[in-house]
Structures are given as C-alpha cells and as structure tokens.
Structure 1
C-alpha cells in the first residue's frame, strides 16, 4: 500500500474500483476549464460500451463530508454534465435522507447515499495492486527533470482535461501526439523507461477510448468509407478537409490583400501546408482502425492499457494481449519507429 489518502480521495478511489469492477473505463480527477478559467475537477468520469451502437459517458460527484449539501451537489452535477456532454449523472454522498434520493430521481440523477458508501468503505485491498492517482503522479515527479523535459505530469493532466471538451478527432489527435512523444522518450531516456511507459500507456488508453467513441458514428459505413473518414479525421482533425481549406482560405485572404505579391505568397503557403497534411502517414492507422474486428477490441484494450499504466508492480506490454500489441505495432509503424528496437528497449524495463 502506498501513500495515505485523505478521506475524500480515498472514497474516490474506492468508487473508482467499484465502477471498474462493474465494467467501466474510469478516469479520476478530470480538470474542467472554461475559456481559460479552471472551474472544477470531475471526481470520476465513466465510459461504457454497451453495444456497437451505444456509448455512455457518466460523471460522478463524490462528497465524503459531514455536511455534504447533497441537494446542492445534485444541481451542480446536473449542470456540469450538460457542460461536458455526459449522458448520465451520479452523486455519491454520505447523506442518508430518502428525500435526497427522491430529489435525484426527479432530476434523473442517481444518488449513491450514505448507506451504500458505508458498505463500500468496508471493502479493503482496492489499492493493493493499483496506484492511486496521487501515486501515479508521484512516480512521474520522481524524475527530477520531468517538469523541464516536456512537463510529463502536465501532459497527463492535459490528456485528462480533453475528456471534458467532447471526444472528437481533435482530442484523439492530441492523445496520439502525446503518445508519440512518450514513445520517443522511451527510446531516448533509458533511465526513465518505466515512468515513460506508464505515461505512454495512459495516453494511449484515452486515445483508444476516443477512437472507440468515434467509431460509433461510423458503424453504418462500409469498410472503404470508414477508411476514408478515419484518414480524413486523423489528417485534418474534426473540421475535416473542407473545414481546414476554408480556414486556410480565410487566413490567406489577408495575405493576398495586404502583402506585396500577396497572391504568389498565398499560393506558396497554401501548397506547402496542404503538402504537409498530405504527407502525414495517417493511411496506416486509418486502414487499421477501420477493420470491424479492431473496433470490437478497442474498449478492452483501453482498460488493459490503463491497467498497465497504474499497476503497482510495474510490468510492460510485451506479455499483454495480442490485440494490444497489434495496435501498438500499427502506431509504431505510423510513427516510423522500429518495432524491434522499441521492444528491445522495453524488455529492459
């Protein structure tokens, strides 16, 4: 067992364990900001995949205090869910009055009351094999240069915060970029391979959830159409080719109007930018994730990756499922990282 947690954080970890055992993918402590202002943290963010056509996002507000102000928390959590595009809301409170549960029902909010939490608090060993979030971040900060060397902890926090902005190709591409960064750190920081791998696995777990969410909207398309949509999204982001082209035209119109030889410069810039987009090796991952059998395994692979990141006794992915290793191989190919070289470095961890 690691560091001692406050009562509130301990309850969040107990609830995280409960929801994980119930089959959810769970993220704890998700920062929510609005126009640059830090608003709050979502205590628990839950993701479930009930079928090829159904995904559900649930937020959980946890209050383990003597005066939990449960009615106010129901209002707060309901509004927060709308702001972060969550379909379901749960409030976990030490409050035991039946009126609180009834009020929650009226607002379509599930209330886990003090009776439930008291039973949950009797469970032991929920952090026997896993890090708490605090321990995960402590493991990163043991690398004394992690703040200067790309802010490893900050990148993990940012990865979490993307969940509140609505999952899209934009968030998936950012998770993919963070994963690539840590893949490179694994190769170049031999003394920090374990912690770089933890960060690598964690960002990839969120990426896997993101792609799983996007595939719901593409499930009715045939294979070739899915490939096309995925390649476009991984290349140009949520706006797609048309959106990027319009944005580029709008930006370059100012150059054409006010710069000397504006049209010539605009044409050169446009050609260069579009050539850069088209040179991205996104065809590899587009074709891979378009496969229907790959779509089916993304949710369990995401949970497996998260487990690797948070495992108390560190272990790498070389003995993980064939599906997980297949996905990593595809991404390494996309990043032009030699699979064999990567495996050799990982095997020393």
Structure 2
C-alpha cells in the first residue's frame, strides 16, 4: 500500500502511537466512543498496558497539534471523557504546554505530553516509515464498501474498536472474533494476491489483535485461579459472553417458563435443555482456551496482540506463514475456532503455507455457533 498523506493532526497521532508502542503499549487509533448505538466522538489514541506482574491498565490520549491548542479546555474535556468510559488514566498531548496547564493536569489526575519534547518542530520525523497511516487503511475500506454499495467493512471495523473502549474484556473478545471471522472469510473468498484480499488480511490481523488483547485482559483477571479454572473462564467467555452468570440465568428462566407455562411443559423443557447443551458443546472454545492459557503463562499473549497490530499496518504486508511465532500461534487458533483453513488464508497473500511451520489441530466442525457465543455481544 502507498501511504496516504495525512494532516498535521493525523501525523501527530501516528507519532504518538509510535511513541507509546516503543514504550511497550498496545495502541489503537481513532476509536469510536459509542453510547446507546450512537457514535459521540473518537478517541485519538487508545492504549493498553501490561504493567509489572499481573497489572493491566487502559488509557486514552487526546492530541492537539496546533499553534493554539487550548490545552486547558482539552484537559477538562479529557478528564470528563476518562470518567465517562471508566478507564485507568488519560494523557493530553499538545504544543507549547504552559506550567499552569501542568498544574491543572495534576489536579485532574491527567498527564500532559508536550510535542516539542517528543519531536521538536518535526513531528513527522517520529512517524515510522514501515507503517501505513490509519487514513490510508480507511480510504481503502471505503473504496471496498463503495464498490459493494454498503458499509459493511467499515461497520465491522468500527464495532471492534468501539467495543475495546467501552466493553473491553469478554465482550470485546466476542465482537472482535466475529469481525475477524468476517474478514478471514473475505480473505479466502477474494482473488488470491489481490488488493481486496490483502486489505481483508490486514483487517483480520487488526481484529485478531483486539481479540488477543481482550483475552489477555480476561486471563489477567483470572490469573490467581488454577489452570483448569483459567481454561474454563476463557471458554465461558467464548460460549456465554462477558457476563456468564446472567447468560446461564437466562437459559434457566427460559427452561423454567417452558416447563411451567406450556402444555406438556416438562418434556418440552427437557428438549430445550438438551438443545441448549448441544449448542454449547458445539462451540469449540477449547481450541482457543488451550492456546491462550499457554501463551498467557509465558507472557506471549500480550506480545501477540502487538505483533498482529503491527502486521495490520506494515507497509510490506506479511502473509500468514510469515507472521512472528506468537502472532501466528494466536491467529492460527482463531482460524481453527472459526473452522477456516489456515492453508487457504496463507495462500491468499505472500509465500504459500508450509504445513510443518504451523501445525493445526483437527478442524472443528463448522457450525453457526463456532464464531460467536449463544448470546451475542453488543457494542
């Protein structure tokens, strides 16, 4: 892909993303803040940090690269947004930061970054040459949607990003998995080595990166449990969504109402229970939970998220078989869960798949429930 020109604001956001990635963060740009189905604003940069031990933290960054950035106003706005989305902290990046603004930031428990300290007057020099801009990615997504006379690709992408902001964890895992499945199918159904296939692969990587980060967060919350319990936690997320207890309670209510309110309620409720149990068993959650549990214990799950995000934006797109080891392990497990042939994905772009490089477990049966839990997550 050719890197599209971006305005100063976009360039500044890319530079900030690079700054935080170099510091070890997982980063996303242009994350929608969605409330009651309406996109209210965009978060310039969203951050996920693996701290010391089992600490995990999320931040937002507001960036204003202008001669007069109105820093005090941005500090107040960002403070309110931080509280509204319920995350751990926030940064405001601006030019010509005055000492009074630093005092206000401290009062609001915010951190101020001065672009002058990051890159002087040449902010573009901080942007790596081996990454494409978000603007370029969205331009190509828009071209595909326009050609197909819908906005499905952009909607899938925005759903994933929005879920990372307001429902990070089990919910964002399932939203990202559904979108990753959508784009993986686009990869293998498009002409191999084509522009559309390449773009779909980038978006598969990006959605998979959010799924990996979300699963890392879920795993960190269950870190003090036994290995068996951690397995079950991940499997329950994939089968029942973020609120396992609520979903299971809905099943129990439906079964009880069938038994008590319908003629022949007892046999009907037994049939309903059996059908629910069959559908749950048909979701091959173990294909992901086995890999996730092992990767988390080695500290590789978080790194796989960073690697997949980098692969999604690399100027030289890597095929599946060229991914770093951690990224390939996680992405491969997701494809197995979706019952999508790894070899077909690998053959769609880059060098052909070498089976010895990435062994896959036996393919799971393809069922409608293998790419989403029984109760869908909303964003």
TM score, norm. by length of structure 2: 0.83
Aligned to 2:197: 193
Greater relative contact order (Cα 8 A, min sep 6): structure 1 or 2? Answer: 2
Contact 1:84 1:165 in 2 (8 A): yes
Q: Report SS of the residue matched to 1:172.
A: helix
Q: Tell me whether 1:335 sits opposite 2:344 in the alignment.
A: no
Change in Cα spacing, 1:232 to 1:144, as seen in structure 2 (3 Å) is closer
Q: Tell me whether 1:156 sits opposite 2:154 in the alignment.
A: no
Contact 1:199 1:309 in 2 (8 A): yes
Aligned to 1:101: 102
Q: Report SS of the residue matched to 1:290.
A: helix
Give, in whole Å, the separation in 2 of the partners of 1:301 and 1:42: 23
Deviations 1:176-221 (A, max 9, x none): 1211222222111124221110010000011111111111111112
Contact 1:32 1:161 in 2 (8 A): yes
Change in Cα spacing, 1:181 to 1:107, as seen in structure 2 (3 Å) is same
Deviations 1:256-281 (A, max 9, x none): 67766666655544442342122111
Give, in whole Å, the separation in 2 of the partners of 1:287 and 1:262: 39
TM score, norm. by length of structure 1: 0.89
Contact 1:212 1:295 in 2 (8 A): no
Give, in whole Å, the separation in 1 of the partners of 2:151 and 2:286: 28
Aligned to 1:69: 70
RMSD, aligned α-carbons = 2.6
Q: What is the count of residue pairs matched by the alignment?
A: 348
Q: Report SS of the residue matched to 2:299.
A: helix
Q: Tell me whether 1:344 sits opposite 2:344 in the alignment.
A: no
Give, in whole Å, the separation in 2 of the partners of 1:51 and 1:89: 19
Aligned to 1:281: 284
Give the deviation of 1:32 after TM superposition.
0.3
Structure 1: any 5+ residue segments left out of the alignment? none
Contact 1:61 1:77 in 2 (8 A): yes
Matching residue within 218, 224, 231 for 2:222: 218
Q: Which is further off, 133-142 or 144-153?
A: 144-153
Q: Report SS of the residue matched to 2:91.
A: strand
Change in Cα spacing, 1:181 to 1:37, as seen in structure 2 (3 Å) is closer
Change in Cα spacing, 1:341 to 1:87, as seen in structure 2 (3 Å) is same
Aligned to 2:308: 305
Give, in whole Å, the separation in 2 of the partners of 1:149 and 1:268: 40
Q: Which is further off, 25-34 or 293-302?
A: 293-302
Give, in whole Å, the separation in 2 of the partners of 1:13 and 1:283: 37
